[in-house]
């Protein structure tokens, strides 16, 4: 089964209208592989701006949302609001949400369920910390995180799984292509055993963690790596190189 290569850019809490406008102009003018699905994760306050400026061939994602449609939740945004801005994706469970803001597996599961029920696509993030990898419990950790997400998914066609080893995010350390492939393959086996073979074969499992123009080609050649979630490099022109990693 061929899985469409997926490249997400997570802008995190970066940029302003000028710098993001320049980046969008670069992206709109670039020659990008038509066989790749590209989605840019903009800060909430710039979702409308990004969606109105970016070419229609690029998707836009919110970087987080809450688990209900509206209410007395100061500072939060809902999938309904995200959709109202013409945005069709949301990133959930990013390690910064988990480890900087203390979001639990349970909350991420609830957010996933509500976002999918609201018609958003979900880029669901999982990944182990350095002490967990060194302790030999990578699989245990990522399987537990994946289970909570899986328990909240009815339609897997709207889900992209992003494996991001926390020790490789923004550190300049990248998991080797072999390390990435190993975890992606194990995740696919887990999906086959716990969800279904059809889902295991069709769901896209993307890699995140210091992906650059220099590392992207070898990572993209791995059998079970179906794309990337790119942090810092998504704010630079080299993002185009990463999108075209398979070209």
The residues assigned a catalytic role are 94, 164
Q: What are phi and psi of 204, to 5 degrees?
A: -85, 130
What does the alpha-carbon distance between residue 130 and residue 27 come to, in Å, rounded to a whole number? Answer: 34
Under DSSP, the state recorded for 224 is T
Q: Are residues 123 and 229 in contact, defined by beta-carbon separation less than 8 angstroms?
A: yes
Instruction: Give the number of other Cβ atoms within 10 Å of residue 3's Cβ.
Output: 15
Q: Are residues 112 and 152 in contact, defined by beta-carbon separation less than 8 angstroms?
A: yes
Helix (H, G, I), strand (E, B) or coil at 181: helix
């Amino acid at each position: 089964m061929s899985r469409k290569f997926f490249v997400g850019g997570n802008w995190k809490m970066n940029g302003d209208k000028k710098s993001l406008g320049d980046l969008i102009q670069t992206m709109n003018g670039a020659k990008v592989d038509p066989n790749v699905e590209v989605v840019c994760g903009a800060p909430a306050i710039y979702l409308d701006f990004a969606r109105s400026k970016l070419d229609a061939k690029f998707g836009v994602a919110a970087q987080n949302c809450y688990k209900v449609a509206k209410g007395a939740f100061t500072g939060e945004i809902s999938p309904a609001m995200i959709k109202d801005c013409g945005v069709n994706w949301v990133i959930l469970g990013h390690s910064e949400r988990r480890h900087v803001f203390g979001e639990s597996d349970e909350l991420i599961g609830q957010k996933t369920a509500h976002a999918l029920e609201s018609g958003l696509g979900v880029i669901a993030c999982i990944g182990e910390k350095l002490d967990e990898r060194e302790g030999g419990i990578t699989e245990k950790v990522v399987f537990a995180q994946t289970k909570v997400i899986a328990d909240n998914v009815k339609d897997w066609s709207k889900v992209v799984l992003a494996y991001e080893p926390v020790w490789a995010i923004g550190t300049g350390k990248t998991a080797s292509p072999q390390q990435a492939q190993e975890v992606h393959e194990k995740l696919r086996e887990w999906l086959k055993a716990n969800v279904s073979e059809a889902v295991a074969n069709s769901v896209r499992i993307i890699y995140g963690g210091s992906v650059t123009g220099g590392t992207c080609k070898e990572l993209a050649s791995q059998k079970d790596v179906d794309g990337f979630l790119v942090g810092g490099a998504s704010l630079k022109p080299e993002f185009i190189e990463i999108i075209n990693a398979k070209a």
